[in-house]
A and B are shown apart, each in its own frame.
Chain A
Amino acid sequence: GENVEQHPSTLSVQEGDSAVIKCTYSDSASNYFPWYKQELGKRPQLIIDIRSNVGEKKDQRIAVTLNKTAKHFSLHITETQPEDSAVYFCAAWGTTSGTYKYIFGTGTRLKVLA
C-alpha cells in the first residue's frame, strides 16, 4: 500500500545550526505535501506545505523542497532556536487516484541544544 518514509527519527542540532528532515512517498498520485509540528502534549499543527506543481517554498526560516521524479520532499529549518524543538511529521495526500488517504511519516524528534 501507499506509505511515507521519514528520516531521521531523531535529530539533535546546536542552536543556530540548520536541520534537514527527509521524506519519500510511494504513491505517484500524491500531489500535496504538508509538514506538521507537534510540540510536547499538543496537537499537530501545519507549518508549511507544498503542491506538486512547485519545486520549493519558503516561509522565513523554514523551507520545503520537492523532487517529484524521485518522490522525495524535505524540510529545511535554518538558524534553529530552542522553540523549534518538537516532533515533525511529513505527509502526502492526493486526489488523482480516487482515494483520499492522508498518509503521515513516522515523525522526527528534533532537539535544539542551547
Chain B
Amino acid sequence: EAQVTQNPRYLITVTGKKLTVTCSQNMNHEYMSWYRQDPGLGLRQIYYSMNVEVTDKGDVPEGYKVSRKEKRNFPLILESPSPNQTSLYFCASGRAASGANVLTFGAGSRLTVL
C-alpha cells in the first residue's frame, strides 16, 4: 500500500529534550516536506526536499532541522524543543517531476512540549 508513515503519532516532552520525528514513504517520491498545523494558521511548511541531499527552508524553519540521506526518509529534528513548538505535524511526499505535485500526507504527529 502506498503510504507515508510518521512516528511517533503522539509525544509529550519537556523543554530542551532533543527529539526526532521520523517520516518514511514507499512511493519513490522526489519531494518530501514537513508542515505544522495550528488553529487559524493552516498548514505552514517547515522544510522541504526536492531529492537526496537537497533540502531547503519553508516558511517556519526556526528551531527545526531535517536531513535527506535516503530518498524514502525525511526526519524532522527538534534540537531543543520549546513550548511554542507544540503543534500537529504532518509529513508529506509528492512526485514533483511532472510539474504537478500531488502530496500524500502522513497521519500526523501531535507534539506537546511542556
Contact = CB atoms under 8 A, between A and B. Distances in A.
Contact of A1 (B35, B56, B59, B107): B59
Interface string A25-44: 00000011010100000011
Interface string A57-72: 0000000000000000
Interface string B68-83: 0000000000000000
Contacts, number: 63
A45 B108 CA distance: 13
Interface of A: 1, 6, 9, 31-32, 34, 36, 43-46, 49, 51, 89, 91, 93, 95, 99-107
Given A46-B102, A107-B43, 14 more contacts: A6-B42, A34-B100, A43-B106, A43-B108, A44-B103, A45-B105, A51-B100, A93-B101, A100-B48, A100-B50, A102-B58, A102-B101, A104-B45, A105-B42
